[in-house]
Structure 1
């Protein structure tokens, strides 16, 4: 059976995603994603599938999954019963890994472990017990504390002696082949046609399903109803377009696939908490701050500009972009 693609959304102001979920849950299916994943079971027993490996799991099961390696944990839970928190998850991308390699020579100690993770790496009870309190604290941590906890977890995994690889050496994950699955074809079509009219009935036909079956299928795999998912994708596109000062907000409204300005403003406000014009002004403020910093570094900052630089901006820029 071909695995489904999981879309992992890492916040722009964070380096990695940390979260937990219960059981049943929409990602409990045979799936893959381009990100690395540290996965810790805290409740239930059942069967674990990683590449071509099949094994049993219980609370304390700790596994590092590499990019595009299909995986799934199926719990043995009576039908109708729900578990509030079954597992803890950290997900981080290869771009983040590359940045760490470039910035920190010490990170090279992690490379062998990450290479092994492409087959999946399981850790024993000792490492699992040591990492669980860090994992639980990481769920609510903010700022630099997140990085400290994450690096501490990686240190435990790198130094762990109770680890073994899971999938066989011959197993090869093939994300190119996975991309041909039905949901991935649908998501790719949506991403490439956001400026056009997208009707759920048309996408259901593309997937070869009835509208009602497609609606359930789409929500199970994305966690969102079809219309809400499309609107989120269009808002993301609009945020990118708003960095282009040559485009008016009205132009962006239609380029992002919205059919009227009032609906665009309403949807943008609901997702971003501000109007598109305000979002653009804040982006301009951010850009102006960067440009002013580079200019100041190049020529030196005059003493009489110091009060205006309390906010990181020279007097002229601070006047042009007053605080909201």
Structure 2
């Protein structure tokens, strides 16, 4: 497998407007599973399956408990050993956060200065002990559901756990240099940045194709290969994700949210929301309010 020698894709990490980092899990296969990079730090814990993982110029095998921290713009990928057609419901837990979050926290809280060493080492990729991986699993699992101050507490506890693991090992060689500047500016990645900035407008595929200089057919093929879905599906995905944030962040009416995220009629918004979330927007809001009341 020559994954580490292919041009990596830029992954656009979309952190919610009312959160400072992402915490989530996914199965396998999944659209994010490809040779890729992003400016954010990533903590990646395998919870199921075995296979091969790639970090910079490092190639190794993984199993449940494999815990790795990736620095900014360091290409990486985990490829599972599965039979054709076999699926894994949840293969890993992932946390992604911008470097500014950590550096600003260190400036505000001098007690966190020791974390700077961890962040610097992570630029070459870090593999942690199996004991640390085991301890991290419960923290990362809770992080995917946590809200408010508890979420920040878990984040700091996880970072402390990693910083205190003196047996952590660098993955990419000291000679490995990752300069993703040219790749990040490639046509498809320029298009992705534009889409993520303008998805709430009346954005159409020909508008985006125009900034890449490609034909519509070439763009569509490249886009589907890169993102794992069609242009329209990706736009709807971003709009529904943003609508979920708005549904949980205040009392904006569902009709106002519909138009605010870029849909031009409520029936289509409701239909797309049901397809992606398995429930109506009003039901989603009711469930979220029930969670809040239980925590208050």
Global fold match (TM > 0.5): yes
In the alignment of these two chains, the number of paired residues is 250
Q: Is contact 2:194–2:208 with CA below 8 Å preserved after alignment?
A: no
Structure index of larger Rg:
1
Change (3 A) 1:189 1:9: closer
With normalisation by structure 1, the TM-score equals: 0.67
Q: SS in structure 2 opposite 1:263? A: coil
Q: Conserved in 2, the CA contact under 8 Å of 1:3 and 1:181?
A: no
**Who is 1:171 aligned against?**
176
Distance in 2 (alpha carbons) for counterparts of 1:174 and 1:196: 34
Which residues of 2 match residues 81-160 of structure 1 at below 5 A? Answer: 81-160=86-165
The CA RMSD over aligned residues, in Å, is 3.3
1:185 aligned residue: 190
With a CA cutoff of 8 Å and minimum separation of 6, indicate the structure with the bigger relative contact order. 2
Give the drift of 1:223: 5.5
Question: Is residue 18–residue 89 contact of structure 1 (8 Å, CA) maintained in 2?
Answer: yes
1:191-243 CA-partner distances (Å, limit 9, x unpaired): 688778633597299575773x754653454465313544777998xxxxxxx
Distance in 1, matches of 2:152 and 2:207, equals 44
Asked whether 1:10 is paired with 2:30, we answer: no
Unaligned runs of at least 5 residues, structure 1: 237-252, 275-324
- Is the CA contact 2:12–2:193 (under 8 Å) kept in the aligned structure 1? no
Matched, 1:54 2:59: yes
Instruction: Report how far residue 267 of structure 1 moved.
Output: 7.7
Map of 1:67 onto structure 2:
72
Alpha-carbon shift at residue 177 of structure 1 (Å):
1.9
Q: Tell me the TM-score normalized by structure 2.
A: 0.73
Q: For residue 169 of structure 1, report the CA deviation from its aligned partner.
A: 1.2
Q: Indicate which of 204, 208, 212 corresponds to 1:198.
A: 204
For residues 96-125 of structure 1, give each alpha carbon's deviation from its aligned partner in whole angstroms, at most 9, with x where no partner exists. Answer: 113212211111110001000000000011
Q: What is the CA–CA distance in structure 1 between the aligned matches of 2:155 and 2:224, rounded to whole Å?
A: 31
